[in-house]
Amino acid sequence: LIPQTEREIQRLREVLTGHPRVEERRFFDVQNAWDNGMALAIARLLERYPDHRIVVLVGREHAQSYESGIPRRLQVLRPGVRMKILKREEFQRDFLFSTDFSRESSSANSIREPNCRP
């Protein structure tokens, strides 16, 4: 695993103030595991589909800046990769739209395999 920076730990401590019952070390470890896992999945997709663009929708703490979270880890795994972080504040409306309304494509269908595996 790519370890967290001191800056990331400080930011997570700020977030943790809103979750007083959560054990700090566990919270940091889980966040780091998610960031590493998602960065690795993206790196594998980029390797498999080098001519494609990949859109990743994640919570703010996973992509706060290029120097933290998934973007920092992705730079370690794929140096020189081009990224753009779009923050929610940049949009007037917040929605995700799909033209496929079939039951098989529903995110509520828990039997379906995730479509994000590389």
Give dist(CA 109, CA 106) in Å, integer.
5
* The pLDDT of residue 104: 53
CA distance 17 to 11: 10
pLDDT at position 18: 80
3-state secondary structure of 106: coil
Question: Residue 90: its pLDDT value, please?
Answer: 60
Q: Residue-wise over 31-50: b if at least 16 C-beta within 10 A, else e?
A: bbebbbebbbbbbebbeeee
Model pLDDT, residue 98: 47
| pLDDT of 6 | 96
pLDDT string in tens for the chain (118-residue length) = 999 999 999 999 998 888 778 889 999 999 999 999 999 999 999 999 999 999 999 988 899 999 999 999 999 999 999 999 988 766 555 444 445 445 454 444 444 444 444 4
On whether the pTM is more than 0.95, the answer is: no
**pLDDT attached to residue 107:** 45
